Amino acid sequence: MNDYQNRADLGLARDLIALAPTEAKAFLGLKAAAERSDGVIPDKYRELISIAVALTTQCAYCIDAHTKNAVQAGATREEIAETAFIAAALKAGAAVGHGLLALRLFDEASAR
């Protein structure tokens, strides 16, 4: 399934927005607030954060858009690489954290 996520699908964005206008308006408003350029966090860092999140959520469209935005904001190739490893470490850490939850749930289930 090499074409499961396809850039051509972005052409359906207008349809998606038109089919759920209330939800789309709310989503686009949140997106605009998160991506504003007049915040305390500089654009480059906002984009690196966005890339890290996109890598952990595995959204190819977000990785594409935010990587391009990061380049425009002055991010380096090295910063992208470090961002990838930071995201990987946090994703792995989340699995360990959920492992703690699994142990507690096991202990609770076993005590019954």
**Joined tokens for residue 39:** 């915040």
Name the residue among 67, 21, 53 with its Cα closest to residue 13.
Answer: 21
Report the C-alpha gap between 62 and 48 in whole angstroms. 12
In this prediction, residue 1 carries a pLDDT of: 52
In order, the DSSP letters of 37-102 are SSSSS-HHHHHHHHHHHHHHHT-HHHHHHHHHHHHHTT--HHHHHHHHHHHHHHHHHHHHHHHHHH
**Residue range 25-78, pLDDT digits in tens:** 999 999 999 999 999 999 999 999 999 999 999 999 999 999 999 999 999 999
Choice among 7-11, 52-56, 79-83, 107-111 with the minimum mean pLDDT:
7-11
pLDDT surpasses 90 at 7 = no
pTM listed for this prediction: 0.83
**Joined tokens for residue 47:** 């984009």
